[in-house]
Amino acid sequence: MVNKRTAAVLVVGFLVLISGLSLWVLGDQTDSVVSLPLASTGVLWAPFLWVCGIIVLLSAAFANILHVKHYFLWLVSLVVGYLVIFGIIIVVTGILIP
């Protein structure tokens, strides 16, 4: 039986995921900007939004188990930790690449 808190987190995660995908589709300009493939999405960070949605969805497993304070600590750690990995790669390689 899924309890209310878990269900609420699942719904929020799903909405964030769908929002990310929808924003990407809405901003997609692939047809008009074929020569600039990297600029094909009009809404920046849309992929990150759906990644966040996935993280929230998976963290629903904690919702019924951890105290609210600990739950948010985990959630923030997962999102921030994910970005930190990218940050470290960008900073370190950015310094070294001439």
98 binds another protein (CB under 8 A): yes
Residue 28 DSSP symbol = B
9 binds another protein (CB under 8 A): no
DSSP states along 49-85: HHHHHHHHHHHHHHHTTS-HHHHHHHHHHHHHHHHHH
65 binds another protein (CB under 8 A): yes
12 binds another protein (CB under 8 A): no
Rounded to a whole number of angstroms, the minimum distance from the CB of residue 4 to another protein is 14
- The closest alpha carbon to 59, from 1, 12, 98, belongs to 12
Among 7, 18, 61, 80, binds another protein (CB under 8 A): 61
15 binds another protein (CB under 8 A): no
* Separation between Cα atoms, residue 9 and residue 16, nearest integer Å: 11
Among 8, 11, 44, 84, binds another protein (CB under 8 A): 44
